[in-house]
Amino acid sequence: MKESVVQLIMALIGGVGFGLLFGMHPRHLLPSALGGVLAWGIYLGMMKLTEIEFLACLVAACVAVFYAEMQARLRKTPATQFVMGGIVPLVPGGSLYRAMSCVVRGEMEAARQYGSTTLLYALAIAGGISIVLALRELQTKKQ
């Protein structure tokens, strides 16, 4: 439990830091970072339920994008900045680093494993974004 709380705090700090780095308007920093906390919390919960990394990341990305769309409507601003803040904690930086490190050391089998994990995370994030945006588009066309 304590580890999960620390991870959620780090997701918040990372979201705020990402927003500051890219010049996000200060009034959107916290809501954007909270999207990342929400996404990471969903990811952790899904991992406890299913232990399937792809599914956990896919569901977390869907929730992050849905949250971003809701924030954008409430704040009358583009959803992109909220999407970015929500997705940042899900980005597979660790596995990408390990893959590249293994390539440099010549450990190609380990590099393939880490590389495939990185690719699955990236596909799950892209899939989550696509699913929510497609559903939003369908809903818009019905109205």
pLDDT tens string 103-114 = 999 999 999 999
- Helix (H) or strand (E) holding 87, with range, is helix 80-87
Residue 99: which of 91, 107, 89 has the closest Cα? 107
pLDDT tens string 7-66 = 999 999 999 999 999 889 999 999 999 999 999 999 999 999 998 999 999 999 999 999
**For helices 26-50 and 53-75, what crossing angle results, to 10°?**
150
Structural domains of the chain, count: 1
Domain boundaries, position 59: 2-142
